[in-house]
Homo-oligomer: A and B are copies of this chain.
């Protein structure tokens, strides 16, 4: 068994628990976002799964959660071990650079030299020890000054994920599998995805970032100096009585930008980003096709049924049914179907159209039907 890296003592995990998961509407809602659902059948929420995956690395003391004020009670109910100073509440969503950057700035003030790892609250990972091995390597590489991400070896030509184009290996002792990153690329179309899969140098972008907090803030400052200034002002006031006033003044004015654009892409372009290829199974369960796949055991003809007390009668049908109403649901001769049955909204689509659900949510917003969002 390899020795644990010393740097692990300075390692904090940050869980940004923010995204609603619009492509999972009407299951995922503004008041019941994706991370508060059990989408795997594990019997607990994705957020709780995430905590349980990180606790062996950090202990309960060194996991910070950044979430919206509206979700505080639900998050604390899911995570009774979460310590109060480790709860960072957003008065409104300002995207991932602000969320992760604020956590980095607060932790850097509290624990100078801290290494932070940001892990999405609503992804699914199988193979926990492989996950931990990858984090160990990432922490070592982060301690050496790199911005580090963990990429996933593609198992199929997915068009639902962004990709990381890797370059040659780097020589980082204790992070032997680290590769330099050539670039981040957006979700491809099917032909391009096939090429990525064939070339073998592309990894899925799993949205995990590990870095020394000071290095992360430095990268944010290089691309978004005003945003960094705001984050530092917030962090300075955070553990003082001035927090509320400064939050009210600064937070709403912060630029909304994903950390992929503010940090990952510029750092990759500057040769400062490395990727640890993760050997574990991963899915962002970003849409219903993904959930169906997760539950089908790989068999296309299967019908996955989620929801406590679901009553489903199906005749030659496949896909996924999520029942949150207890109603009898009968399916006849519908293949690859997606039926999401909730008390105030019903979605019927197919796996092939699962990515279009977000557009429906946008249309509902525009048409003044936000009561069901």
Q: Which residues of A contact B (CB under 8 A)?
A: 25-26, 311, 313, 315, 327-334, 337, 339, 341, 343-350, 352-353, 356-357, 359-360, 363-364, 367, 369, 372
Contacts and interface: CB of A to CB of B under 8 A. Distances in A.
B327 A356 contact: no
A345 B330 contact: yes
A273 to B, nearest CB: 37
Nearest to A326: B344
Contacts of A350: 332-334
Contact of A345 (B328, B345, B352): B328
Contacts of A348: 329-332, 334, 337, 339, 348
A315 B327 CA distance: 25
Nearest to A355: B332
A7 B356 CA distance: 64
A311 B370 CA distance: 13
B367 A349 contact: no
Given A311-B369, A313-B363, A363-B313, A330 B347 contact: yes
Given A327-B345, A329-B348, A315 B359 contact: yes
A355 B369 CA distance: 35
Nearest to A333: B353
Nearest to A357: B332
Contacts of A343: 327
A53 B343 CA distance: 40
Nearest to A349: B332
Nearest to A373: B328
A320 to B, nearest CB: 12
Given A313-B367, A367-B313, A369-B311, A332 B345 contact: no
